Amino acid sequence: MNEGKTKEQDSGVELEFDLGDPPQKVWRAVTIPELRERWLPKAALADPDAITVTPGQEVRYKLRDDNPPFLESTVTFTITPNATGGTCLRIVHELTDARFDGMARAPANSNRPLLMLAA
pTM of the model: 0.74
Per-residue CA distances from 37 to 44, 79, 110 (Å): 10, 19, 42
Over residues 80-106, the mean pLDDT reads 80
Starting at the edge strand that comes first in sequence, how are the strands of the sheet with 87-95 ordered? 5-9, 12-19, 87-95, 72-81, 58-64, 52-54
- What confidence tier does 27 reach under pLDDT thresholds 50, 70, 90? very high
Terminal alpha carbon distance of the chain: 46
Over residues 61-70, the mean pLDDT reads 87
Res 22: pLDDT: 97
At residue 36, does pLDDT exceed 80? yes
Over residues 96-119, the mean pLDDT reads 58
